[in-house]
Amino acid sequence: MLGAVRNWGGGNMIRKFLDGLYLIAGIAAALCLITILVLIVLQMLARWTGEVFPGAPDYVGYAMAAASFLAFANALNKGSHIRVSILLNAVSDRTRHWLEIWCFAIGTAVAWYVSYFIYRMIGFALKFKDVSQGQDATPLWIPQTPMLIGAIILAIALTDNLISLLMTGKHRIIRDVTDTQAE
């Protein structure tokens, strides 16, 4: 266990699992975007042929929410989230280190908090057999579940980055080219 902590950023089994988890979540988000495209095209074809595709806009909305939440962790580690790099680049290395710890700690706490409340929201949807108000009448726990999965994966990614920062002094975010040009 101690070796896993020392090699937190290394090529151990935990690292491979986490990186694979973030990649799978990103691929699932991309599949949700493809689903959105297919649903929109099917809805257009239905209109052109005089048919009705009930619930298509609702399904597109569910896929968009799923795509957003599932993409968060992968986007974080690829440096696609907005960071206040101008401030981080303007301070000393020691100050930057403490600011990053503070940001990751707050982000991690918020992500776990959001995950918990999405979990509770799903529990209420199941308990009260809540369905959407659109034509589809989909049980709400179905579109809420990918949101929970994505939120938990984001919380794991933020926790992973925080632990890496604490143990190795470096987070796992790949810096964007525009970030490095300011230095």
In the prediction, which pLDDT does 176 show?
Answer: 59
In the prediction, which pLDDT does 79 show?
Answer: 82
Residue 8: is its pLDDT beyond 80? Answer: no
In whole angstroms, what is the distance from residue 163 CA to residue 157 CA? 10
For range 23-45, the mean pLDDT = 97
* DSSP class of 131: B
Mean pLDDT, the chain, integer: 88
In the prediction, which pLDDT does 89 show?
Answer: 82
Tens digits of residue pLDDT in 61-79: 999 999 999 999 999 998 8
Percent of the chain with pLDDT over 90: 69
Report the b/e string of 155-171 with b at 16+ CB within 10 A.
Answer: bbbbbbbbbbbeeeeeb
Question: What pTM, to 2 d.p., does this model score?
Answer: 0.84
Residue 163: is its pLDDT beyond 70? Answer: yes
**Which residues make Cβ contacts (< 8 Å) with residue 176, sequence separation at least 6?**
79, 80
